[in-house]
Structure 1
Amino acid sequence: MDLLTSINDAIWNPMAYFALAVGLFFTVMTGWVQFRRFPDMIRQILSKKNCPDGISPAQALLLTLASRVGVGNIAGVATAIAAGGPGALLWMIICALLGSASSYAETVLAQVFKRRINGEHRGGMPFYIEHGLKLKWLAVTVSLIAMLGYGFVFPGVQSNNIASSVETAFNIPPLVSAIGITALMAFVIIGGTKRIVGAAQIMVPVMAVGYIVAALVIVVANYDQIVPTIALIVSSAFGTHQVFGGIVGAAVAWGVRRAVFSNVAGVGEGTYGAAAASVSHPSKQGLVQAFSIYIDTVVVCFATGLMIVMTGSYNVFAADGTALVEGVPGLAAGAAYTQQAISTVMPGVGPGFVAVALFFFAFTTLVAFFYIAKTNLVYLTGKDDNPVLDWALKLGMLGITFYGGIVSADVMWAAGDIGYGTLGWINMLCLLALSAVVYKVTSDYDKQCKAGLDPVFDPTKLGIAGADFWVEEASEIAANQAELTAKSGRRE
């Protein structure tokens, strides 16, 4: 555990500031696209898909939200507060506001360099690294790391948190929970991509709305604490609070660390679901995915943090182990903080409600993880139908889902952080290397919108090589238009 902690610190301490810098870079380069195009985000989410072989922008949003909205929104927020104090919440929000531009950038690239494989839109990190940067070896390396991470490591974090919260709420042994989660996962992932998308489409809105309503109840019940709580969060974030001033560095590091773990902006996780969307221009889905960061962190994560801080249901410890605040002595950081916060207003309800919410959050994440792992397997093999490897992936994911439910939470969190951090460094460096493509695509979208057009992407006109999917699309559209013109001429 000491070794894992040292590796994590080496990866994440500098990455906290790097992630903020990358988000700021894309915010400025795109002309603050995540703010100025906010109304457009809503329009794109509500739009219908344009062709039968992709999924709609809204379905892609729900698929990526299924992976983003997970244990990081409940347990992750609590660990950030425990290590960085209430100020970590503000840095989570800042990271999300800037990170939404990073999410926009990686989604644009996922759309530009995606491919059609067996009638499905497939894309993501390895696709734009290979076809955009022309670095096949790095694409294969990233794809292998992502497949192993999302298929054989990260699912353990989700199942571990489900099992621990269920044990706290209902006194059900972790072994029983692990068996149940694994059985449900088997039912979903064996059903294929359509069942995966269908599960996300049903569960994500239900779980998010239910959880936010519960948070509002807590806030309303403690309305007199709203102003003092906000003041505490702000003063702690900038080191002016008398108790938390000495850990402002931890507030930044842990706020960003848990924001990235939760919304994975810049890590590349959302690129796989985003690439599956059927849109006429990459920027359209980029805006949709930028909006998903707001939902995950600005809304859901902040709702969790506000509940915890407002009710005093947290402990904070300095790096040397010194207790700065002990609002709930002896209570370990994690979902238990949120359970305690809800119980202050609804006695006896907190543990059960959070356990159920965490189950939905984490289970939908597990479902999305399989889709991501499968997309990377498709990239590595070059085909969508490989029964032996497909079953190896399914059995491996089911195995880690079961194992994660019965092992130490510390080990699973540490392993998950190392995997996310590694992918984050690689992906953000690749995003910067491909920033010229993002700029061209964004400028093209803005120009067409200004002319009153419904933007349509043509990579050839922009001088973007490697966008084979879109070249094929343009050829098909041109052929169809020529055929219609010919038919019209014959009728005349």
Structure 2
Amino acid sequence: MFIVDFLNNFLWTYVVIIGLLGLGLYFTVRTGFIQFRYLKEMVRVVFEKTPSPNPGEKPISAFKSFCIGSATRIGTGNLAGVAVAVTLGGPGAVFWMWVVALVGGATSFIESTLAQVYKIRDKEKPGTYRGGPAYYITKGLNKRWLGIIFAVLIAVTFGLIFNSVQSNTIASAFESAFGLNTYMAGAFMVVLTGAIIFGGVHRIANFSAVVVPIMAVLYIAVALFVFFTNLNMVPAVLSLIVSSAFGLEQALGGGIGAAIMYGVRRGLFSNEAGMGSAPNAAATSHISHPAKQGFIQTLGVYLDTLVVCTATAFLILVSTDVYNSGQYEGINLLQASLSSQVGEWASIFVAVAIFLFAFSSIIGSYYYGETNLQFIKNDKVMLNVYRVATMSFVMLGAVAGLGFVWELADLFMALMTVINLVGIMLLGGVAFKVLKDYEAQRKQGLDPTFDPEKLGIKNTESWDQEINKKVAN
């Protein structure tokens, strides 16, 4: 435990926070503040029609890839994670979550665009693709050894550790709302997880495309109800968040450091911008130009943090009696806060919401692990072992202690992020070329298409195959 704490403090204090914010600002300037200029374009491309597939292919649409990415983003971090951040870092942590999202929007565009540029075809599932940092580090930087290290880290982080965090939160919420034994909750989740992950990427995509929109709309609807019934408290809550992020009292007590630390940690856990996870979802879709997935995943960062996380923070901070009591932590703080606003049924609602949020994250996180294992070696036995390990960690997380699980998740998340940040920093020039190409075609009134050879980009096998097919036809 001491080693985990030491490494966490060092990496987050001196490496991750500086790297995330610094590189995010760099990408923001180099792309001309793309995360703000292209909001309308982000919404447009999410619902864009999938290009015509080849015979026998079943491609993943842009919307479904958006849902896979959102399924892992919108999970425990949006509910329990925000509660933990507010408890340990104070209300000011919410402000720094916003900063991570706004600055990270540009980082998300870069990493997701690169994932599309260097994606590969999935030979076993016609019409589908695989990709992510392990792939673009290998193809773009010719550093397969570093790609393998990242692949191992993300497989362990998402498929195993993060999934134990998700199941831990579900079990805790169900125990609080229904008195359900955590072992029973764990067994129930294991059965459901197995039924979906043994069905492959299409079953994962279809599940996410249904569950993510429903759960997001329901949760936001309840949050809006609380927002409008407490409209008079909005200025006070916003003032509290900002003053806690910069206030003199917090500075004297060391609170600003805690607010930044926990805000950035929980913000990154929630929206994943720069971590290298969302690019795995970005690579799955069949689209006409890589920049489109950059826009789509940036929109996912906004939905996650600026909408869902903010809704959770408001629910907690507006319930001053509950928040100031110090009797609750984690998901139980959110349950108690919402119950004080709308009645005892809220505890059950939050339990159901956290199940939908977190369980969809379990499924999406597993996929990230699967696609990276197949990067290392396409072996069915190894894949089935990994599936069983995922289910085991889901069970373990349901009955394990919360503190150590979160600390371990933070450590592996930091290691992943460092490798990904190095990769996208070195490959940023490729993404800039792709963006300029997209903008030039849009100015001409065209639906942008991608020709890597024209831009001097190499090792783009899936795009080369598409171009060759069109020439042959």
TM-score bracket relative to the smaller structure: over 0.9
Partner SS state of residue 265, structure 1? coil
Per-residue deviation at 1:442?
Answer: 0.8
The corresponding residue for 2:22 is 21
Sequence identity of aligned pairs in percent?
37
Q: Which moved more, 1:236-245 or 1:4-13?
A: 236-245
- Counterpart of 2:29 in structure 1: which amino acid? V
1:467 corresponds to 2:468: no
Question: Does the 8 Å CA contact 1:167/1:173 hold for their aligned counterparts?
Answer: yes
Per-residue deviation at 1:449?
Answer: 1.0
Question: Does the 8 Å CA contact 2:159/2:362 hold for their aligned counterparts?
Answer: no
**Segments ≥4 residues shifted beyond 3 Å:** 240-246
Q: Distance in 1 between matches of 2:435 and 2:463?
A: 16
- Counterpart of 1:361 in structure 2: which amino acid? F
Report Cα offsets for 1:223-282 as digits up to 9, x if no partner: 111111111111111124579874112111211111101011111111111101111110
Per-residue deviation at 1:329?
Answer: 2.8
In the TM superposition, 1:64-463 aligns within 5 A as 64-118=69-123, 119=126, 120-240=128-248, 246-312=254-320, 327-331=324-328, 333-381=329-377, 383=378, 386-463=379-456
Question: Does the 8 Å CA contact 2:60/2:202 hold for their aligned counterparts?
Answer: no
Partner SS state of residue 400, structure 2? coil
Per-residue deviation at 1:155?
Answer: 0.9
RMSD, aligned α-carbons = 1.5
Q: Which moved more, 1:231-240 or 1:286-295?
A: 231-240
The corresponding residue for 1:323 is none
- Counterpart of 1:73 in structure 2: which amino acid? N
Q: Distance in 1 between matches of 2:70 and 2:250?
A: 38
Question: Does the 8 Å CA contact 1:85/1:244 hold for their aligned counterparts?
Answer: no
Report Cα offsets for 1:265-311 as digits up to 9, x if no partner: 11111111110111111001110110000100000001100111121
Per-residue deviation at 1:4?
Answer: 2.1
- Counterpart of 1:422 in structure 2: which amino acid? L
Q: Distance in 2 between matches of 1:12 and 1:86?
A: 20
Report Cα offsets for 1:119-176 as digits up to 9, x if no partner: 2211111100000011011011111221222222221111011101111111111111
Q: Distance in 2 between matches of 1:45 and 1:271?
A: 15
Q: Which moved more, 1:5-14 or 1:203-212?
A: 5-14
Per-residue deviation at 1:389?
Answer: 1.4
Q: Which moved more, 1:351-360 or 1:140-149?
A: 140-149
Question: Does the 8 Å CA contact 2:167/2:186 hold for their aligned counterparts?
Answer: yes
Report Cα offsets for 1:44-82 as digits up to 9, x if no partner: 011011143431111100010001111000011111111
Query: Residues 308 and 379 (structure 1 numbering): CA distance in 2 closer, same or farther, change over 3 Å?
Result: same
Question: Does the 8 Å CA contact 2:267/2:305 hold for their aligned counterparts?
Answer: yes
- Counterpart of 2:409 in structure 1: which amino acid? G
TM-score (norm 1): 0.92
1:12 corresponds to 2:8: no
Q: Distance in 1 between matches of 2:315 and 2:82?
A: 11
Per-residue deviation at 1:116?
Answer: 0.7
Per-residue deviation at 1:314?
Answer: 6.0
Q: Distance in 2 between matches of 1:145 and 1:85?
A: 30
Question: Does the 8 Å CA contact 1:313/1:340 hold for their aligned counterparts?
Answer: no
Q: Distance in 2 between matches of 1:244 and 1:364?
A: 41
- Counterpart of 2:350 in structure 1: which amino acid? V
TM-score (norm 2): 0.95
Unaligned runs of 5+ in 1: 316-326, 481-492
- Counterpart of 2:405 in structure 1: which amino acid? M
Question: Does the 8 Å CA contact 1:114/1:124 hold for their aligned counterparts?
Answer: yes
Partner SS state of residue 172, structure 1? coil
Question: Does the 8 Å CA contact 1:50/1:280 hold for their aligned counterparts?
Answer: yes
- Counterpart of 1:420 in structure 2: which amino acid? M
Q: Please identify which structure carries the higher helix content.
A: 2
Question: Does the 8 Å CA contact 1:189/1:370 hold for their aligned counterparts?
Answer: yes
The corresponding residue for 2:3 is 3
Unaligned runs of 5+ in 2: none
Query: Residues 313 and 252 (structure 1 numbering): CA distance in 2 closer, same or farther, change over 3 Å?
Result: farther
Partner SS state of residue 88, structure 1? helix
- Counterpart of 1:189 in structure 2: which amino acid? I
Query: Residues 313 and 284 (structure 1 numbering): CA distance in 2 closer, same or farther, change over 3 Å?
Result: farther
Report Cα offsets for 1:67-117 as digits up to 9, x if no partner: 111100001111111122111111111110111111110001000001112
Q: Distance in 2 between matches of 1:226 and 1:243?
A: 24
Q: Distance in 2 between matches of 1:135 and 1:387?
A: 25
Q: Distance in 2 between matches of 1:313 and 1:285?
A: 43
Q: Distance in 2 between matches of 1:403 and 1:132?
A: 38
Query: Residues 341 and 402 (structure 1 numbering): CA distance in 2 closer, same or farther, change over 3 Å?
Result: same
Q: Distance in 1 between matches of 2:68 and 2:28?
A: 24
Per-residue deviation at 1:416?
Answer: 1.0
Question: Does the 8 Å CA contact 1:55/1:277 hold for their aligned counterparts?
Answer: yes
Partner SS state of residue 434, structure 1? helix
Question: Does the 8 Å CA contact 1:236/1:244 hold for their aligned counterparts?
Answer: no
Per-residue deviation at 1:21?
Answer: 1.3
Question: Does the 8 Å CA contact 2:88/2:262 hold for their aligned counterparts?
Answer: yes
- Counterpart of 1:70 in structure 2: which amino acid? G
Question: Does the 8 Å CA contact 1:61/1:288 hold for their aligned counterparts?
Answer: yes
Partner SS state of residue 342, structure 2? coil
